[in-house]
């Protein structure tokens, strides 16, 4: 999430960059509620695959020297990360029992804030040393992708009311514990 904060560091108008950030987030919030109808885990996997693919694409030497390509790829990845983050909020209500839902949302929010401490450095890094920034982005997205493989698909299932219901959802995981 912190990779998306400082896209205003790119060349061009600070106001236009900020406006594009706001438009991306607004559209993503509006669209994410509809897209989760196709599956929560599947949507997360697709988002992380797109982020990894474009981050790898951005590491090619011809694209590293062009700030406009780096900016475009950063906007695409920002869209995917915002979509994944909104899906996680919807997904939490379906994976975690009611009595532990608040704690799980707090952990998710706190985990995203750890990287937010580094967001000013990421904003500078994407402009000054895009290769190092993209390597960090690839590593984080690969960890997110692998972690998503452990989650069950919850579409068309009942919400869990107890820990036993959560254990029942494990049969819908790609990788089981």
Specify which residues 173 forms β-bridges with.
152
Residue 176's pLDDT is what?
Answer: 65
88 vs 97: CA distance, rounded Å: 15
Q: Among 128, 167, 161, which residue's Cα sits nearest to residue 6?
A: 128
User: pTM of the entire structure?
Assistant: 0.77
Q: Return per-residue pLDDT of the chain as tens, 177 residues.
A: 555 556 667 777 878 888 888 888 888 888 887 887 787 888 888 888 888 888 888 888 877 778 888 888 888 888 888 888 888 777 777 777 777 777 777 777 787 777 777 777 777 777 788 888 888 888 888 888 888 888 787 777 777 777 777 777 777 777 765
166 vs 25: CA distance, rounded Å: 31
Q: State the helix-helix crossing angle for 101-116 and 119-128, rounded to 10 degrees.
A: 50
Residue 107's pLDDT is what?
Answer: 78
Residue 2's pLDDT is what?
Answer: 58
């Amino acid at each position: 999430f912190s990779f998306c904060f400082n896209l205003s560091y790119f060349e061009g108008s600070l106001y236009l960059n900020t406006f594009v950030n706001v438009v991306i987030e607004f559209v993503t919030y509006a669209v994410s509620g509809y897209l989760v109808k196709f599956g929560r885990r599947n949507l997360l996997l697709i988002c992380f695959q797109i982020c990894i693919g474009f981050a790898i694409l951005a590491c090619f030497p011809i694209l590293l020297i062009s700030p406009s390509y780096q900016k475009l790829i950063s906007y695409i990845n920002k869209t995917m990360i915002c979509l994944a983050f909104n899906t996680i909020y919807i997904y939490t209500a379906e994976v975690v029992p009611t009595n532990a839902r608040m704690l799980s949302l707090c952990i998710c929010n706190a985990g995203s804030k750890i990287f937010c401490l580094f967001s000013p450095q990421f904003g500078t890094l994407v402009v000054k040393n895009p290769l190092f920034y993209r390597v960090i982005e690839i590593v984080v997205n690969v960890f997110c992708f692998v972690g998503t493989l452990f989650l069950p698909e919850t579409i068309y299932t009942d919400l869990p009311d107890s820990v036993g219901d959560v254990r029942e959802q494990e049969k819908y995981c790609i990788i089981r514990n």
